[in-house]
């Protein structure tokens, strides 16, 4: 009979344990029961009953149940029991309780020792309710603080029985689960997320929203070509900041945005984190440019031109400036010697003077270098240098022989140029009747004559008698640089033509000692009259005469020179006229003889 009872008891215990492990039964409130027994190691405390099996209950007693304390499955309470039979411990796993309703099932379970083996004993408490009157050893829970329906799993709360006893129990409400990527299965996650999200709860969960300091937020990062950001992402507590190191590749410039941060050097510090956010690092290629100005950009040699380079762009650091006074290429390679080298300069402007001593067109250039990995920049300009203007000195006028030609002039000068080696390449002569050389008063304009000649003669028939003329000269050097106008002295042509000397004689072929009559046949002009004569006779007698028509005898035979110079009443003296008279031998003496 005893053996049969043990088998029945084993089956009951097995069925009850199986129902617990499968999670059957309505969750009800518990009761306190006190039993004095030397083998008593487990006090019934909270019971669960499965629908259809009202008398099969399991319980967890002692007030010190722990969730998975002995490694039990999630969702179960695990009780650690001290086996007084053997001195060892063992665990019993039971479903989580809910103290929401009173139970009409008051089975009590306890253990006793059978030798060294604990044996479960099930006892029944009759009655439809748990009360001191009906069941003096059974106390029911009368109050909870706080309301168990609001207490998250693992969070303690206080149970008070109608017997005046209190104990600590633990909530079963699933509020949220700490840990990145877990889900919230009831209400809103305390960190502001519902269901599965990317916000991590930090600390225990609560039905009410705890301080935000219990929340962790993911700060993601985004980088790009041209550099790196130190971390892919980082989890940051509410209100804290995060720092990232941003490293640019050579030739790139970093900027950052997002999460309310600021970039100082290579460190990006976010603002206070209150939500998930992304810190973005952007890398842009650094730029470098230079603008060159020249003042003056043209002028006469020697010309001093100031080159000024102005640097712009996002490149950083000191600057190397290299100047060339004449380098006509677009390259950025540094060739030495350079005309100006200024390395390690902090300023973004730099000047250099170039001196151009000869005429020509030149290409001043600057090359700038700045920052590692940034291409050099260059700019160039054009400078035009003219030779210094030449001039003309020693201007003079040579009049014609007015006895044989009309009004005319030959203008002469000496070319002068301050540029060593320059020679005359051209000239221009203007002659006018007014000093302003304007209007119809300009009677001669040679135009630009490409010639190295230092004189210019007018042709006959252009200038008039009795007029005043002005003349000026411009010369060009062999670089085609012109002088300014150089004025010569004015000149006045004669009042009229000079006398034209002429005479005749008879006999045309005189003999020695024969009387010869010379007759003046000169012509005067402009209303003038003849005022003086000057005769010269070679081997004549007389040898000279001031008479208009002198009588002369030649003292020897042969060719004789006779010269007449005539002066008119205006004092114009024409050049002497020279004629040749042939003188024969003397005539024979005739002696008359009487027949």
pLDDT in tens, the chain (595 residues): 433 433 333 333 333 333 333 232 322 223 222 222 212 222 223 333 223 323 323 333 333 333 333 333 444 334 444 444 444 444 443 443 333 333 332 333 334 455 555 444 434 333 333 343 444 444 445 566 777 666 656 677 776 655 555 667 676 655 543 333 333 333 344 454 433 333 444 444 444 444 455 567 889 999 889 999 998 888 888 889 999 999 999 989 899 999 999 999 999 999 998 888 999 999 999 999 999 999 999 998 889 999 999 999 999 999 999 999 999 999 999 999 999 999 999 999 999 999 998 889 999 999 999 988 899 999 999 999 988 899 999 999 999 988 888 999 999 999 999 988 889 999 999 999 999 998 888 999 999 999 999 999 998 889 999 999 999 999 999 989 899 999 999 999 999 999 999 999 999 999 889 999 999 999 999 999 999 999 999 999 999 999 999 999 998 998 989 999 999 999 999 767 778 777 787 766 666 667 6
pLDDT confidence of residue 112: 43
Find, among 506, 517, 510, 516, the residue nearest to 587 by Cα: 510
Strands 360-362, 349-356: pairing kind = unpaired
Q: What is the model's pLDDT at position 81?
A: 41
Q: Tell which residue, 271, 278, 217, 221, has the closest CA to residue 246.
A: 221
DSSP labels, 310-360: EEESS--S-EEEEEESS---------SS-SEEEEEE-SSEEEEEEEE-S-E
The DSSP bridge partners found for residue 269 are 243, 262
Tell me the C-alpha to C-alpha distance, in Å, between residue 183 and each of 173, 174, 194, 217. Answer: 14, 10, 7, 15
Token readout for 378 is 């260059």
Q: Where are the beta strands (DSSP E) in 61-147?
A: 66-67, 76-82, 89-95, 108-114, 117-123, 138-145
d(CA 138, CA 481): 131
Please report the pLDDT score of residue 343 as a whole number. Answer: 97
Q: What tens digit of pLDDT does each residue of 143-170 get?
A: 667 776 666 566 777 766 555 556 676 7
H or E stretch covering 33 = strand 26-33
Asked whether 231 and 256 are in contact (CB, 8 A), the reply is no
SS3 per residue for 376-414: CEEEECCEEEECCCCEEEEEEEECCCCCCCCCCCEEEEE
pTM summary value = 0.44
Q: In 3D, which of 301, 584, 277, 273 has the Cα closest to residue 418?
A: 301
Residues 23-71 pLDDT 10s: 323 222 232 222 222 122 222 233 332 233 233 233 333 333 333 333 3
* Strands lying side by side in the sheet with 319-324: 340-345, 319-324, 365-369, 377-380
State the Cα–Cα distance between residues 4 and 13, nearest whole angstrom: 14
Distance CA(255)–CA(266), nearest Å, equals 9
């Amino acid at each position: 009979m005893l053996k049969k009872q043990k088998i029945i008891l084993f089956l009951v215990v097995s069925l009850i344990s199986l129902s617990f492990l499968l999670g059957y039964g309505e969750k009800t409130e518990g009761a306190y029961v006190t039993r004095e027994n030397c083998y008593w190691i487990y006090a019934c405390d909270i019971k669960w009953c499965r629908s259809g099996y009202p008398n099969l209950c399991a319980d967890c007693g002692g007030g010190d149940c722990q969730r998975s304390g002995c490694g039990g499955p999630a969702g179960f309470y695990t009780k650690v029991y001290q086996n007084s039979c053997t001195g060892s411990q063992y665990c019993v796993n039971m479903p989580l309780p809910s103290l929401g309703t009173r139970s009409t099932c008051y089975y009590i379970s306890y253990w006793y020792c059978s030798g060294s083996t604990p044996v479960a004993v099930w006892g029944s408490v009759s009655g439809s309710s748990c009360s001191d009157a009906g069941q003096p050893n059974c106390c029911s829970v009368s109050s909870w603080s706080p309301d168990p329906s609001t207490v998250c799993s693992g969070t303690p709360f206080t149970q008070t029985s109608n017997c005046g006893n209190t104990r600590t129990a633990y909530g079963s409400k699933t509020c949220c689960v700490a840990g990145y990527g877990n889900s919230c299965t009831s209400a809103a996650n305390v960190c502001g997320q519902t269901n599965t999200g990317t916000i991590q709860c930090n600390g225990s969960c609560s039905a009410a929203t705890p301080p935000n300091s219990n929340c962790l937020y993911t700060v993601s990062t985004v980088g790009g070509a041209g550099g790196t950001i130190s971390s892919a992402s980082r989890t940051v507590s509410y209100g804290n900041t995060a720092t990232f190191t941003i490293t640019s590749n050579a030739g790139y410039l970093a900027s950052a945005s997002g999460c309310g941060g600021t970039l100082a050097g290579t460190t990006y510090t976010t603002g206070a984190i209150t939500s998930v956010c992304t810190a973005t690092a952007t890398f842009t290629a650094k730029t470098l440019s230079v603008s060159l100005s020249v003042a003056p950009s043209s002028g006469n040699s020697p010309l001093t031109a100031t080159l000024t380079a102005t640097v712009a762009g996002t490149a950083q650091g000191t600057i190397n400036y290299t100047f060339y006074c004449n380098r006509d290429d677009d390259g950025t390679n540094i060739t030495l010697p350079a005309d100006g080298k200024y390395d390690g300069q902090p300023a973004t402007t730099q000047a250099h003077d170039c001196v151009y001593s000869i005429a020509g067109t030149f290409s001043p250039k600057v090359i700038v270098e700045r920052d590692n990995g940034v291409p050099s920049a260059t700019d160039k300009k054009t400078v035009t240098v003219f030779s210094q203007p030449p001039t003309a000195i020693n201007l003079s006028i040579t009049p014609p022989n007015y006895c044989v030609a009309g009004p005319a002039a030959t203008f002469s000068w000496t070319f002068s140029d301050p540029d060593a080696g320059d020679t005359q390449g051209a000239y221009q002569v203007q002659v006018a009747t007014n000093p302003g050389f304007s209007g119809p008063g300009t009677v001669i304009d040679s135009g630009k004559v490409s010639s190295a000649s230092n004189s210019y003669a007018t042709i006959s028939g252009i200038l008039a008698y009795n007029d005043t003329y002005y003349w000026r000269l411009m010369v060009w050097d062999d670089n085609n640089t012109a002088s300014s106008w150089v004025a010569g002295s004015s000149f006045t042509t004669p009042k009229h033509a000079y006398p034209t000397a002429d005479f005749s004689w008879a006999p045309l072929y005189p003999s020695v000692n024969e009387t010869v009559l010379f007759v003046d046949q000169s012509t005067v002009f402009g209303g003038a009259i003849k005022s003086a004569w000057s005769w010269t006779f070679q081997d004549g007698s007389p040898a000279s005469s001031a008479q208009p028509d002198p009588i002369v005898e030649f003292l020897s035979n042969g060719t004789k020179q006779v010269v007449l110079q005539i002066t008119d009443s205006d004092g114009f003296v024409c050049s002497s006229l020279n004629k040749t008279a042939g003188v024969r031998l003397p005539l024979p003496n005739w002696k008359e003889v009487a027949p």
